[in-house]
């Protein structure tokens, strides 16, 4: 049997996980820890040292081009950026594919802000999961672009980049966030497709 205090603790943890409290705490922990880790790594790796020299060892660097030049590790607006091969992503740190551009970097930074706004559990369920699985009609070959998905369009908005989404998709992104970060079943809202017809040039993507 659970005691009253156990139930209380569990309730608090659940509230944390599904509110901006956990997202913000989690992300700040990564903001705080990434830099000392990077400095330690620079002692052992010449490549990391050269990467950090590009940004003059400034974790708050805002120059995207310098981040794109880094071979292993860089910083962008407080966040650690790990260069790798494969799909880019963001959770505490930014994983950025070697061939990505500045727009993708801003987009991934947007995911970190999204995480802070949503909370860890909400982010994992309503953003990380559908994004990793490319759920819904949103993918590179489908009728809608990958970045038209509400969870991706919101990352674009928060990161300061726009992959040419129409007003309808932006509205979808706002609604998705408002519902999703409060009510878990609203996660299934992604199934709703925009009503407006797309311009012919967008259909080819």
The span from the CA of 66 to the CA of 52, in Å, is 9
Nearer to Zn ion, 52 or 94 (CB): 94
Window of 65-73, 91-99, 133-141, 148-156 that interacts with Zn ion by CB under 5 A? 148-156
Continuous H helices in 129-166: 129-133, 150-159
Work out how close the CB of 155 gets to Zn ion at its nearest, in angstroms, rounded to a whole number. 5
Q: Give least dist CB 115 to Zn ion, A.
A: 11
CB of 107 to Zn ion, least distance (A): 6
Residue 12: count of CB within 10 angstroms of its CB: 11
Give the closest residue to 201 by CA, choosing from 166, 175, 168.
166
Q: Pick the piece of the chain touching Zn ion (CB under 5 A) from 17-25, 153-161, 163-171, 173-181.
A: 153-161
Which string of x and - marks every residue 155-174 that binds Zn ion (by CB under 5 A)? x-------------------
| Closest by Cα among 118, 91, 107 to 179 | 118
Nearer to Zn ion, 21 or 89 (CB): 89
Strands 93-97 and 79-84, how do they pair?
A: parallel
Task: Please identify, using beta-carbon distances, which residue of 53 and 140 lies nearer to Zn ion.
Answer: 140
* DSSP designation for 138: B
Contact region with Zn ion (CB under 5 A), list: 26-34, 72-80, 151-159, 168-176: 151-159
Phi, then psi, of 73 in degrees rounded to 5: -150, 135
- Shortest Å, Cβ 73 to Zn ion: 21
Q: Are 157 and 110 in contact (CB under 8 A)?
A: yes
Note the residue count of the chain: 205
Q: Which residues pair with 82 in a beta bridge?
A: 73, 95
Count of chain residues binding Zn ion (CB under 5 A): 2
Contacting range for Zn ion; rule: CB under 5 A; set: 22-30, 54-62, 144-152, 188-196:
144-152
Positions that interact with Zn ion (CB under 5 A): 152, 155
């Amino acid at each position: 049997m659970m005691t009253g205090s156990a139930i209380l603790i569990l309730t608090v943890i659940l509230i944390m996980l599904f509110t901006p409290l956990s997202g913000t705490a989690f992300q700040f922990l990564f903001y705080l820890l990434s830099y000392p880790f990077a400095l330690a790594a620079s002692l052992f790796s010449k490549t990391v040292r050269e990467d950090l020299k590009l940004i003059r060892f400034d974790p708050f660097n805002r120059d995207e081009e310098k981040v794109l030049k880094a071979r292993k590790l860089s910083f962008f607006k407080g966040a650690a950026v790990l260069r790798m091969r494969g799909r880019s992503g963001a959770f505490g740190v930014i994983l950025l594919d070697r061939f990505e551009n500045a727009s993708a970097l801003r987009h991934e930074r947007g995911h970190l802000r999204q995480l802070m706004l949503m909370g860890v559990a909400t982010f994992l369920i309503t953003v990380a999961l559908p994004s990793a699985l490319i759920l819904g009609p949103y993918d590179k070959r489908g009728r809608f672009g990958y970045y038209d998905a509400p969870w991706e369009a919101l990352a674009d908005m928060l990161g300061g980049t726009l992959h040419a989404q129409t007003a309808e998709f932006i509205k979808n992104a706002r609604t998705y966030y408002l519902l999703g970060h409060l009510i878990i079943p609203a996660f299934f809202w992604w199934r709703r497709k925009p009503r407006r017809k797309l311009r012919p040039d967008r259909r080819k993507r």
